[in-house]
Chains A and B, each alone.
Chain A
């Protein structure tokens, strides 16, 4: 079903047959610091369809993790949502109280953090942490808790004997898997993952990705997957969203984005990876570094590093242009004749 969706569900304006599970509209997050206000997420809008795998990629400091925390309502001061809405299953999460949010978390939407070692409690066993989460949502029967805990651990390929294990007794890959098992306790409709594989080796990383995809196929939940490694999500995501300096540069079907990236930043990112096969070629990466978000450039935020910069890029912020099913924030796509060459 994910594949069927990928064909007709990419732009913001093409509503899915089922209606999106998550709608983000003009979401902005600011860090209010002594030195000024840092706009870490600036007017981001997108939808996530049921059962869809959306990957968000970008460099460190581009606001991708802040965006995730903004969606999950996990921001702490000095970060705060300064505008926009996060509508999950028809309710605007931004306006919910902590009490109402607690009912949604784990049950309908769960979050898998980057470092499982820090997300799991080191002094209680894995099973006890599963029990806590279930009790918090009103499951009190011991048999029921045990049955479900065993079930979710088996789903992620961990022997249920590890319910008695403490986090330090598990390997990095198993810890991440047990975090995913915990996120699956109530079979939520949306799982948000913040670089869950970044601490793992390539072999463990590949097997975890395959596992997530298998589970998703079977239980049909939507995934928002944040990563800095584009090549990792090439084969797993339906749609890809590229963020730069707090804004969405480009969003579209993953396959299409890889075959024909439009935004100069996306093109640069793709060319920054040395290849493991094919001829050895000299690469340049993207010269320069991302802008200071306390003082963002007046025009396009990528303009200072852009190889195709034009004079208007330095003064006017570009809007989103719809190009062949992808949405691109770049003036290059303003004039239709530019597209032909």
Chain B
């Protein structure tokens, strides 16, 4: 199996052409227990994927599946235990000096989950944006900074930007605050925004507006977004590609409509069947899965989903399945699906 085939994504790496972000066999483990303990929690294990230009890639999974850890490694909050990520061809571990780190955090900013605690409450909302502009784009004069701040506020739907800039965070609603988060990221002229559950704290009637902002940033500003979520329906609404994580590994990845229309991995099928859908019949039987994802501590070989999987075969208990391409751009880490059999687990 060549390395290339394990890379999901429609704009796969053709030789000599590097995607915007390439994650290569990245792992992040956390030591747990007391000082003498050698146990490690495998939050992310051996993950490879790419993100192209102008692309929204969603990472979906349950809590504890490692999806936020991926974002934190990419934001350089954590160092990977092994493996490497390449941004515009350059390894993240080579970004060391203060200057390079500043440049990277401007190109790859993060938007956080909680809009109530991620904005400084005692300053006007202009504070964060102006600071970001001053720090990351020192070439601008103070008038240019203000013009740019108004532009990014208008771009995320905070109209009129000049007026909203003068407000305090407590004067804004949750949806507006989260837009401020995106405006701050946008001010730095990013290439890739790491958005960790950006809408999960917001009310349903407001979520859609923010998802529309994300789509607009991609279409009009040319920004790529790594959208981390547990909500498959919102991922489908906005994302181009989907990566489904289970217990620290990629279970399935591919163009989002492909994955959701014909999920290959039993876990994707389970996740999809559990999404509440008012328009469909209820699908809960006696055999309905009631299990929960494992905490992966010192794993032994074998598929991590095997204990919940109704179609597991002998291989699943002894070997780690690899993420292999099953159809163009669409890959799954499942022995049964790879054997050519049709998986219909849930």
Contacts and interface: CB of A to CB of B under 8 A. Distances in A.
Given A59-B204, A276-B232, A276-B260, A203 B209 contact: no
B208 interface: yes
Contacts of A270: 278
Given A206-B288, A231-B276, A287-B209, A272 B271 contact: no
A60 to B, nearest CB: 6
B230 interface: yes
A278 B279 contact: yes
Contacts of B209: 284-285, 287
Contacts, number: 113
Contacts of A289: 173, 175-176, 206
B204 A202 contact: no
B260 to A, nearest CB: 7
Contacts of B1: none
A230 B279 contact: no
Contacts of B260: 276
Interface in B221-274: 230, 232-234, 236-237, 257, 260, 270-272, 274
B99 interface: no
A203 B278 contact: no
B237 A280 contact: yes
A272 B204 contact: yes
Contacts of A201: 62-63, 230, 293
Interface residues of A, number: 41
Contacts of A277: 277, 279-280
Nearest to B275: A276
Contact of B205 (A231, A234, A286): A286
Interface residues of B, number: 41
A194 B162 CA distance: 40
Contacts of A278: 279
Q: Which 3 pairs show the lowest CB-CB distances between chains A and B?
A: A285-B208, A274-B237, A235-B282
25 contacts: A59-B205, A201-B62, A201-B230, A201-B293, A202-B62, A204-B62, A205-B276, A206-B274, A206-B276, A231-B276, A258-B278, A272-B205, A272-B208, A273-B233, A274-B208, A276-B260, A276-B275, A276-B277, A277-B280, A280-B236, A280-B237, A283-B237, A285-B207, A286-B205, A286-B206
Given A210-B284, A235-B282, 19 more contacts: A173-B292, A201-B62, A202-B62, A203-B274, A206-B288, A210-B288, A234-B278, A235-B276, A272-B204, A273-B204, A274-B233, A275-B277, A276-B236, A276-B260, A276-B275, A278-B279, A284-B212, A285-B207, A285-B209
Interface of A: 59-60, 157, 171-173, 201-207, 209-210, 228-232, 234-235, 258, 268-270, 272-278, 280, 282-287, 289
